Structure 1
Amino acid sequence: MIFCAETFYEIVMILRNEGGVLLRRGLSFTIPNQYGHFLQDILTPIPLNQYQWKVIDEESYIVKDGQLDCLLFPKSTVINGRQLNERITQHEHYLIFVDIKAFQPNISSEIITYEDFLHSTCEFVLLVTDSQYVTIYCKDQEMLNSLYENAFLHEFEEIEYITSHNDSMTRLSCW
C-alpha cells in the first residue's frame, strides 16, 4: 500500500468533520485527452468477471489505424465481464462519454441518483465526461482504495476522494 501524506490529511479531516465516520462515496480524477487503453487502465483493480456490466448511451470509439472507427459499445447493453474485458483490451479507444455500471448478481432498477445507487444491487459506477473527467462511485471501500492507488500508479491527475462534502453530482450520468 502506498502512503500518501495528502490522502492521510484528507482522511483525518473527513474523520473530524464527520464525527469519526468516514463517508467516502467514490473517486474523481482526469485522464489524458488522447487515444489509449484508459478503460483497461482504470478498471485494473476490478474483478470484471464478477459483475454484469450495464453500458448506457455512451459515445466512445475504437481506434483503428490511428483513426476513429466504430463505437466502442454500439448501443446501450448489458454484457458480462469477459465481454467487457475483450472490448477494452483488443483495441485502443477514444473515450468521450462513458456510463458503465457493475451489478452483482442481478441488474436492479435504473440508477439516477447517489441514493438510488446506495439502495440498488449496483456495486460500481464509472462515468467519463468530455474525454478526460472520470468519476467513480464504489460501495466497497477496499476496492475504492485500490482504485485510488491504481489512479496514482497510472499518473492520472487531480485524484481525489468524493465525499458527502465535495460531491457536486446530482445525477449519476455522463450526460
Structure 2
Amino acid sequence: MIFRVETFYENGMTPSNEGGVLLRRGLRFTIPNQYGQFLKAILSPIPLDSYQWNVVDEESYIVKDGQLDRLLFPESTVIDGHQFAELLTQHEHYLIFVDIKAFHSNMSSEIVTYEDFLHSTCEFALLVIDSQDVTIYCKDPQMLNSLYENAFLHEFEEIAYITSHNDSMTRLSCW
C-alpha cells in the first residue's frame, strides 16, 4: 500500500505545481468489496446526530445470516442523524451504490454539480460507486483532514485529496 504524504495546511489548501494553491474539495479512496459496516467506519469522525441525511437513489443491502436481505435505505429519503447512526451500527451491510448528503438544516435544492454543492446548505456528500470507489466532498477543511486520517487508519486504499486540478466528476451522483 502506497500513501502520498501531503502537508496539512490549516486552511485546507495544498501547494500546486504551478506555484499557486489548490483548494481541497474532498477525497477519494477504495474500500474492500465485501460485507461490513463501512459507512460507520467512513463516517466515524463526523457527529452524525448533527445532520439531516438525504439518501438518494441508493442500492445497498442489509446483510442477514450472511446473505443480502433488504435495501439498507428502502427509498430516497431524509433521515435524522440519530436514526441514521442507529441504522449504520445495527446491521452489517453491502454497499453497491450510495448517494448520501448531509445538511444542518433542511435540504435547500437538488445538488447535481460541485458548484451546486458549494452554493447549497449541504455540508458533506458521500458517494460509493461499484461497491469500492468512495468519493467524499466536504466544505469543512478540518473535517476533511479528519476524514483523510480516518481513511488511513482504516487502511482504505488509494487515498487522495480531490482538488480543482484532479476532480474528474461532472456530477455529484453515484449513477
Task: Tell me the TM-score normalised to structure 1 length.
Answer: 0.92
Instruction: Output aligned runs, 1:1-175, within 5 Å.
Output: 6-8=5-7, 14-17=14-17, 19-175=19-175
Question: 2:16, 2:22 within 8 Å by CA — same for their partners in 1?
Answer: no
1:5–1:168: structure 2 CA closer, same or farther, 3 Å change rule?
A: closer
1:5–1:125: structure 2 CA closer, same or farther, 3 Å change rule?
A: closer
The runs of 5 or more residues in structure 1 that have no matched partner are none
Aligned partner of residue 169 in structure 1, secondary structure: coil
Cα deviation, residue 16, structure 1: 3.8
1:166–1:16: structure 2 CA closer, same or farther, 3 Å change rule?
A: closer
Quote the Cα distance in structure 2 between the aligned partners of 1:100 and 1:18.
Answer: 34
1:152–1:42: structure 2 CA closer, same or farther, 3 Å change rule?
A: same
1:54–1:18: structure 2 CA closer, same or farther, 3 Å change rule?
A: farther
The superposition leaves residues 107-146 of structure 1 with CA deviations (integer Å, 9 ceiling, x where unpaired) of: 1100000000000000000000000000000000000000
Cα deviation, residue 14, structure 1: 4.1
Quote the Cα distance in structure 2 between the aligned partners of 1:76 and 1:62.
Answer: 16
The CA RMSD measured in Å over matched residues stands at 1.7
Cα deviation, residue 19, structure 1: 4.7
1:67–1:150: structure 2 CA closer, same or farther, 3 Å change rule?
A: same
The superposition leaves residues 70-89 of structure 1 with CA deviations (integer Å, 9 ceiling, x where unpaired) of: 00000000001111111111
Identity %: 79
Runs of 4+ residues over 6 Å off in structure 1: none
Quote the Cα distance in structure 2 between the aligned partners of 1:94 and 1:128.
Answer: 11
The runs of 5 or more residues in structure 2 that have no matched partner are none
Cα deviation, residue 106, structure 1: 2.0
Quote the Cα distance in structure 1 between the aligned partners of 2:77 and 2:14.
Answer: 37
Aligned partner of residue 7 in structure 1, secondary structure: coil
Q: If each structure's helix is expressed as a fraction of its own residues, which one has the higher value?
A: 1
Count of residues paired in the alignment: 169
Question: 2:7, 2:14 within 8 Å by CA — same for their partners in 1?
Answer: no
Counterpart amino acid of residue 116 in structure 2: D
* Deviation larger for 51-60 or 16-25: 16-25
Aligned partner of residue 86 in structure 1, secondary structure: helix
